[in-house]
Amino acid sequence: MEEKFAISIYVCNKPGVLVRLTQTFARRGYNIDSLVVSAAHDTAFSRITVVVMGEPSTYDQILRQLNKLVDVVHATSHESTDVVDREMALFKVKVDPKKRAEIFQIVEVFRAKTVDITDQSLVIETTGDSSKIDALEKLLGPMGLVEMVRSGKLIMKRGVEET
Amino acid sequence: MNGAQIVVEVLKKQGVEYIFGYPGGACMPIFDALVDAPELKMILVRHEQGATHMADGYARATGKTGVVLVTSGPGATNTVTGILTAHMDSVPLVVLTGQTITPNLGKDAFQEADVFGVTMPVVKHSYLVRDVKDLSRIIKEAFHLASSGRPGPVLVDLPKDVVSEEWAEDFNAELDLPGYQVQSSGNSSSITKVAEALAKSKRPLLYVGAGTVISGAAKQVLKLAEILQAPVTTTLLGKGGFSENHKLSVGMLGMHGTAYANKTVVDCDLIMAIGARWDDRITGKVSEFCLNATKIHIDIDPAEFGKIIEPDISVNGDVATVLDELLPQVKKINTKDWLKKIETWKKKHPLKYPKRGGLRAQHVLAELDRLTASAAIISTDVGQHQMWAAQFCKATRERQWLSSGGAGTMGYGFPAAIGAQLGNAKEVVVAIVGDGGFQMTMSELATAAIHKLPIKILIINNRYLGMVRQWQQLFFDNRESGVNMEGNPDFVKIGEAYGIKGFHLRRAGDVTKVLKKALAYNDGPCIIEAEVAKADNVFPMIPAGAAVSEMLIDEPPAGKKLKKPVGST
């Protein structure tokens, strides 16, 4: 059975790094679920958070192969308990003005925000862990959800230690 | 100075002796700078693939980094096979490729190829230099990466405008590789565990791979084997990591290894991989490999642990250093019964070949081994002759045996011998090639002839792609398909056209005489065309994907149907 894994990778901010990483996953048949890349606090480096789907039996191998790449400073997997993880999502819902109230209720319960509104549509913004976003998607689905964008998972280690 | 001069200056500082190259538009500034650097000897090849194999042969035979210089586009893509070959076998290469000017990148300019992208899966690391200020640091890094840790090929793509630009370089830039660490010494508690496991073993086996040769650890392996009185098997690329003439050697293991090596593998209670990576041609069916043996794995590359075989104890570090740390803790164990058992296998199943039916490749190779006292540098191509050479030409020291193991690149053997001879002027270098593979890179005869390199090119000519034919015979009901080398030239005449000496060898009775003549000829290269039995087969053989215990020691009776191999190759 394939499983989902979240890996945080600290890399040199150089051209080609991302290709080398994605090649490593593709070669071993891992599919990338989400990928976030941004400059680190020290701009000579980048932080990457990647969520992949694949065989648990090859997971340690992949981590070692990532760490073997010259531009990878470290690649680490994390237990969900020792990290803060967040994701952001935008949802576009096509909705008749008469039915808006119902959606506003959901938005409130989820502590989401309505960031755009027209006579036919709403854009809703939310932040949270991935399961919260999954749940909101499920509820909005039958109410006219036409588009969704997710940022991909961000991970940061709890406490003073570096991610 | 301009970028090209900076490149040349760094090559000089790195102690480079030879550059194997082929010019073209995009690398002209570098070729121009070479005019003023006669200490860097430019070996002009006839095809860029040849350049990479020569650099590879030079690197394997000397331990130094091989350097290749080619132009952009097709010049660069022609190096890909050679880069793969070096990558699979952990050979240190620096491949410098010319590139179109930076403003043209990505615009399909003349002779533009994204070689940085094309080669990414087969390099240890690569660079596309965009700023002349980075040039000296990057070339230095390329050498450091290629040669340290687990060696490998590093490609540096050099746009023509970058190498043409003027820059006052002081050559002081430090390496900037924060993501690259090399583990040299091993974890001491793991090493103690290894010593304890060895002490408990009754039937140990040391399994020596290319990492031993790369690390220069033959001395340590010899000590370890002699203290333990443990048998030693060497992989195709580990040949020379332990002398095959030593009484504890059981020779090569794996698909075409000796019967006694493979029986030792099946029966051992401990197997210790020393710079070896449990290749699929060694393990066969992984789920049945050494089920009852403790598995120890010493490797400089931690990504090898558990890739194929999950080791009971792993030690990450340089093989020689780790063995130096291990040796003081190793005690003699009683292996008398074990060695006796192995001795009976050696007697019962020696390497052998049919003495009748015309000239046999095995006979030629065994005689070559005898006449050179197992001391020549042997470079092979890929196929049946390679396996026979591995069986019958004994390696006794490090860096004596050059062969494309991981990639199995046909066309490797002859150009690699050129590199090896350039790096070892005083050694006898023999290129053992098949008629198929030789024709892939024989254009390099010109390169060998120009430099009067006394390479003995031994062509095992059976007018077949023999290994494929063997598989077709054994596993595909003898339905021959695409294996007949009809149309082969007279190789001696081909040599003559280049002014190269040639010998025909057709009769078993002439083997000694002809080989002696060829070995005595040192005015330049010579060709020995051995016209051997057409349809000979390599045995022993473990069908791909089968368990080691399913080894076929001899040719199965005619008409016996074998299962089609499930392993890939």
pLDDT tens digit sequence for A90-134? 999 999 999 899 999 999 999 999 999 999 999 999 999 999 999
CATH 3.40.50.970 residue ranges of chain B are 3-164, 361-539
Structure tokens at A153: 């998972």
Domains of chain A are 3-77 (3.30.70.260), 85-155 (3.30.70.1150)
Partner-chain contact B306 A71, CB within 8 Å: no
- Cα angle B394, B399, B400; round to 5: 35
Residues B34, B40: contact at Cβ < 8 Å?
A: yes
Give the model's pLDDT for residue B569.
Answer: 67
Partner-chain contact A70 B124, CB within 8 Å: yes
With 90 as the cut, is the pLDDT of residue A57 above it?
A: no
What CATH number was assigned to the domain covering residues B361-539?
Answer: 3.40.50.970
Give the model's pLDDT for residue A24.
Answer: 94
The alpha-carbon gap from A12 to the nearest alpha carbon of chain B, in Å, equals 7
SS (H, E, C) B300-346: CCHHHCCCCCCCCEEEECCHHHHHHHHHHHCCCCCCHHHHHHHHHHH
Q: Is A26 on the interface with B (CB under 8 A)?
A: no
- In this prediction the ipTM stands at 0.91
Residues B454, B525: contact at Cβ < 8 Å?
A: yes
Residues B134, B7: contact at Cβ < 8 Å?
A: no
Give the model's pLDDT for residue B400.
Answer: 98
Cis amide prior to B454 (ω within 30 degrees)? no
A contact residues 52-71, partner B, Cβ 8 Å cutoff? 60-61, 64-65, 67-71
A74 CB neighbours in chain B (<8 A) are 179
B116 CB neighbours in chain A (<8 A) are 16
Report the share of chain A in percent with pLDDT over 70: 100
Strands, E, within A55-118: which ranges? Answer: 72-77, 83-94, 113-117
Residues B416, B60: contact at Cβ < 8 Å?
A: yes
Q: Is A73 on the interface with B (CB under 8 A)?
A: yes
Q: What are the beta bridge partners of residue A49? A: A8, A36
Structure tokens at B421: 């001879």
CA distance B233 to B212: 12
- DSSP 8-state class, residue B555: P
**How many Cα atoms within 13 Å fall on the side-chain side of residue B57?**
32
Partner-chain contact B179 A27, CB within 8 Å: no
Instruction: Using only the alpha carbons of chain B, give its radius of gyration.
Output: 24
CATH class of B188-348: alpha beta
Partner-chain contact A65 B303, CB within 8 Å: yes
Q: What is the mean pLDDT of chain A?
A: 93
Quick one: B3-164 is in which CATH superfamily? Thiamin diphosphate (ThDP)-binding fold, Pyr/PP domains (3.40.50.970)
Give the model's pLDDT for residue B249.
Answer: 98
A contact residues 76-135, partner B, Cβ 8 Å cutoff? none
Among A43, A70, A71, most B C-beta atoms within 10 A, so best to mutate, is: A70
Partner-chain contact A64 B305, CB within 8 Å: yes
The alpha-carbon gap from A19 to the nearest alpha carbon of chain B, in Å, equals 8
Q: What are the beta bridge partners of residue A10? A: A47, A74
Averaged pLDDT, groups of 10, chain B, 569 residues long = 98 98 98 98 98 98 98 98 98 98 97 98 98 98 98 98 98 96 95 98 98 98 98 98 98 97 98 97 94 97 96 98 98 97 98 92 98 98 98 98 98 98 98 98 98 98 97 94 97 98 98 98 98 95 93 86 77
The predicted model scores a pTM of 0.96
Q: Which of B121, B180, B302 sits opposite A64 (nearest CB)?
A: B302
| Residues of B that are catalytic | 48, 110-111, 160, 467
